[in-house]
Amino acid sequence: MTVRGLATVTTTAAATEVSGGSADLGAEADVIVVGAGPGGSAAAYHLARTGLNVVLLEKSNFPRDKVCGDGLTPRAVRSLIEMGVDTSPEAGWIRNRGLRIVGGGVRLEMPWPDLASWPDYGLVRPRLDLDEILARAAVKAGARLYEGTTVTEPLFDERTDRVIGVQAHVGRERRPIIYRAPLVIAADGVSGRLALALGIRKRDDRPLGVAVRRYYTSPRTHDDFLESHLELWEGQPGASRLLPGYGWIFGVGDGTSNVGLGMLNTTSAFQQTDYRDLLRRWLDALPGDWGYAEENATGPVRGGALPMGFNRTPHYTRGVLLVGDTAGVVNPFNGEGIAYAMESGKLAAETALQALARPAGPSREHALAAYPDLLRARYGGYYTVGRIFVQLVGNPTVMRTATKYGLPRPTLMRFMLKLMANLTDPRGGDALDRMINALTRIAPAA
C-alpha cells in the first residue's frame, strides 16, 4: 500500500531475523523519530507537514509524566506557535508575565522583554499534558505515532554500517518489531540509548545539572510570574546555613504549584547531596501559608538529569541525528530544555528534508553532515559563554557576591534576564541586545 512520502508500507507483517529470533516488520518510512517528547514531536511535526512519511515511536503510553519545572519562557512559546498549538488561557494554558528573582534580601520582578522576535509572555503547562499535546499535533500533521514501543537498538546495513531503522519491543509482552527508514532522529532523552549504541557518549567537559520537583496544593497556584530563588536557606535567610543550588516556584493554575530545585556539577556538593532532603529543608524554611508541607503534596518527589551545553557529540553520524536531551542541548544558564529540544527538532527536520531531496549517497550525506555545524552556529557561542557562567556561579563566594551586589541594579538584571533566557532581537534591538549578540558571536563555538 503506497503512503505519503517516499516509502512503501505493506499491510501484512513480514518476519525478519533479529538477534537469533524473528520480529515483525512494523512499518517503513522516510524518517523514524524515536521519542515523543518535545524534541521528537517537533521534528515529526515539521517533517510530516511537508508530506514525508514519518513514524514517531514512544516507549510509554500517553498521558505520561516527565520531571520538569513546567515553566515555558517566550522562547518555548514561539516553538509552540510554530506547531499550530493554541496557547490561549481558554485552551488550558497558564500565562506568566515574567520572572521574579529572590535572593540577597531582594525580590525583583522583571517582565519578559518586549521583542519583535519572541512573544511577550511565558506559559506553564504540566508535562503530563504538554507532551501529549505536541505528539497529537505531530499526528495531526500526518505523522504515525506508535505508543508503548520501546526502541532497543539501531538496525544496521551490514555493507555500509549505516543505520537503516530500529529494533523495538511492543507492549507488555515485549513483542519484537522492526521499523525501517533511511534516516533516524534520536530524541530518546537523557539515557540516549541510540546514541550509546553508536558509540556517542557524554562529554565530561560539559556541565550537567540535577533537578528535583514536587507538586503541592497551594494558594500561589495563580502566580503570574515564574519565581526563581538564587539562595536556598535552611532556616531564616541570613540566620542559618546556605544550601547549594537554586530553587523555583511555578504556579500551575490548577490549585497546585510546581516547586523544585536544581544543582550543577560545577559545585563541590554535587555528588554528596541528598536532593530530596535538600528540597525538604528548603521548603521547611518558606512561609507556612504557601502550603509547601508534606500534607499538601499531591505526589512524590521526582528527579532527573539536565544535560547541558552540547554534552553529547557528534550530533550526527551514520544516518542518525540527535535532538533534545539526547543531544545535550539544555541551556546552561537556566536549565531550560523544552525550547531547545523543540528548536533542535525543527532544525533536524529541516536538515532531513533537504537530505532526502537528494539521491542516497555522498550528496545526501553531505547535507546531513551539516547538521552539527548548524547547531553550533545557532547555539555554540552562547553555550560557551554559558559554560563560563556556570563555572563562576559554582563557586559559593562568587554566587553570594553576585546576588548581593547584582540584584539591586535593575539594568544589570535586565541584561541578565535577556542573557540567561536567550531572548534578544538578532537585528536591531536595544543596547543590551547588541551587547549580548556581540558576546555570543565572538565566543568560540566549541
- pLDDT tens digits along 257-313: 999 999 888 877 777 788 899 899 899 989 999 999 999 999 999 999 999 999 999
User: What is the helix (H) or strand (E) element at residue 193, kind and residue range?
Assistant: helix 193-197
CA distance 440 to 386: 10
Whole-angstrom Cα distance, residue 407 to residue 427?
28
pLDDT at 235: 67
Low-confidence residues of the chain, pLDDT below 50?
1-21
Do 217 and 289 meet the contact criterion of CB atoms below 8 Å apart? no
Residue 122 CB neighbour total at 10 angstroms? 25
Q: DSSP character for 330?
A: B
Cell, residue 220: 500561589
Which pLDDT score is estimated for 244? 66
Residue 31 three-state SS: strand
Query: Residue 421 and residue 251: Cα distance in Å, rounded?
Result: 19
The pLDDT score that the predictor gives to residue 1 is: 28
Instruction: Give pLDDT, residue 406.
Output: 84
The reported pLDDT for the residue numbered 405 is 81
β-strand pairing of 144-146 with 54-57? parallel
Does an H or E element contain 397, and which? Answer: helix 396-406
Q: Is 284 in a helix, a strand, or coil?
A: helix
The closest alpha carbon to 187, from 231, 156, 223, 143, belongs to 143
Domains and CATH numbers, the chain: 94-125+206-307 (3.30.9.10)
Distance CA 391, CA 232 (A): 19
pLDDT given at position 247: 93
Position 446 scores a pLDDT of 77
Which position has the grid cell 519562557? 73
Quick one: cell of 228?
Answer: 526563581
pTM above threshold 0.85 = yes
Residue 338 has a pLDDT of 97
Q: Which pLDDT value is given to residue 25?
A: 76
Residue 17: the pLDDT is: 35
pLDDT at site 19: 39
> Cα(76)–Cα(132) distance, rounded to whole angstroms?
16
Q: Which of 124, 58, 143 is nearest to 338 (CA)?
A: 124
pLDDT at 22: 60
Residue 221 is classified by DSSP as G
Over residues 138-189, the pLDDT tens digits come to: 999 999 999 999 999 999 999 999 999 999 999 888 899 999 999 999 999 9
- DSSP-derived 3-state class of residue 389: helix
